[in-house]
Chain A
Amino acid sequence: MGLPIGYSARNLTVRRSSTALTAIGIALTVGVFTGVVALYQGFVDLYRPRGSESAGIYLRPGASSEGESGVTREQANIIIKGADEIAKNANGEPLAAAEVYLAVYMNKLSGGRTNVPLRGVQRMSLELHASGNLDLLEGQWPTWGANEVVVGAGITGRIENCRVGDTIRLNLTDFKVVGMFEHDGMYRGEIWGDAENMMTALERPVFQRIIAECKPGTDFETLGATYRDNKQTPLKFISEREYLSSQTTMLGPTLLYLAGGLIVIMGTAAILGAIITMLATVTARTHEIGVLLAIGFPRGSVFRAFLMESCSSDCSVGFSA
Chain B
Amino acid sequence: MISFEKVCKTYRRGGEELRVLASLDLEIPAGDFVALMGPSGSGKSTILNLAGGLDTADSGTVSVASETLNRMSSKALAQWRARHTGFVFQSFNLIPVLNAVENVTLPLLNTPLKGAERRKQAEYALGIVGLSDRLKHRPAQLSGGQEQRVAIARAIATDPDVILADEPTGDLDRDTANEVMELLVRLNEELGKTILMVTHDQVAADRAKRTLHLDKGELADGSAA
Task: Note whether A and B contact each other (Cβ less than 8 A).
Answer: no
A-side interface residues toward B, CB under 8 Å?
none
B-side interface residues toward A, CB under 8 Å?
none
